[in-house]
């Protein structure tokens, strides 16, 4: 039996205290849960999305999961990795972020036409602490493979955050700017559009 990665969503009834039943079924089938999301959560409704990988029969496990959830609805869907692919995250000052995004989207389009999936996320931010928090958060984002820092001046705690996320395997690209962040990045690029292209 081959190993496959499957995304399954459930609207369990009752909504409370059902996560342990769902994960228990996956564990019984020797599944490796790679991500869990609660898409909606209230006293009356809750939707769980599991992504797991296991050497198992999809139909047999799906039936057992449905019974465990006392389901209202359930389904199998494509994983976000298959649909959106790896993520390029662009953080920094608004004008520079826009220019980096032009390059990143152009390069992603070129790759996506050939069947590789790359998506681009941006967030314009200013201030040392908001930027440092954003950098650290990228390491926790699903599917994030590269971070591009776009701005005129970055240093201090942002530099420390860059060094931390690089240790987790995240590629960090910095524009050639003032401050200590360029010294901590994997790659320093002068042209913002080219920086976006290099993030692939």
Is 130 or 34 the better-scoring residue by pLDDT? 130
How much is the pLDDT for 73? 65
How much is the pLDDT for 1? 45
Provide the 10 A C-beta neighbour count for residue 176: 12
Q: What is the mean pLDDT of residues 100-112?
A: 88
Q: What is the mean pLDDT of residues 91-120?
A: 87
Using 50, 70 and 90 to split pLDDT, how confident is the model at 66? Answer: low
Percent of the chain topping pLDDT 90: 40
CA 200 to CA 196: how far, in whole Å?
8
Whether the CB-CB separation of 64 and 25 falls below 8 Å is answered with: yes
SS3 category, 116: coil
Mean residue pLDDT of the chain comes to: 80
Domains in the chain, ordered, with CATH?
3-77 (3.30.70.260), 82-198 (3.40.50.10550)
Q: Is residue 124 scored above 50 in pLDDT?
A: yes
């Amino acid at each position: 039996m081959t190993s496959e990665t499957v995304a399954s969503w459930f609207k369990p009834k009752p909504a409370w205290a059902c996560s342990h039943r769902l994960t228990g079924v996956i564990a019984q089938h020797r599944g490796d849960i790679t991500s869990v999301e609660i898409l909606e959560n209230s006293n009356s409704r809750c939707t769980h999305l599991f992504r797991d990988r296991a050497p198992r029969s999809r139909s047999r496990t799906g039936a057992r999961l449905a019974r465990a959830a006392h389901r209202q609805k359930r389904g199998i869907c494509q994983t976000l990795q298959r649909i959106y692919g790896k993520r390029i995250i662009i953080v920094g000052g608004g004008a520079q972020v826009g220019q980096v995004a032009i390059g990143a989207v152009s390069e992603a389009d070129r790759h996506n036409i050939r069947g590789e999936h790359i998506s681009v996320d941006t967030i314009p931010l200013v201030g040392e602490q908001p930027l440092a928090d954003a950098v650290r958060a990228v390491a926790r984002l699903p599917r994030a493979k590269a971070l591009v820092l776009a701005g005129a001046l970055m240093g201090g705690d942002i530099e420390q955050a860059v060094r931390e996320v690089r240790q987790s395997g995240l590629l960090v690209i910095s524009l050639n700017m003032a401050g200590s962040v360029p010294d901590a990045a994997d790659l320093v690029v002068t042209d913002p559009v080219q920086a976006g292209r290099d993030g692939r």
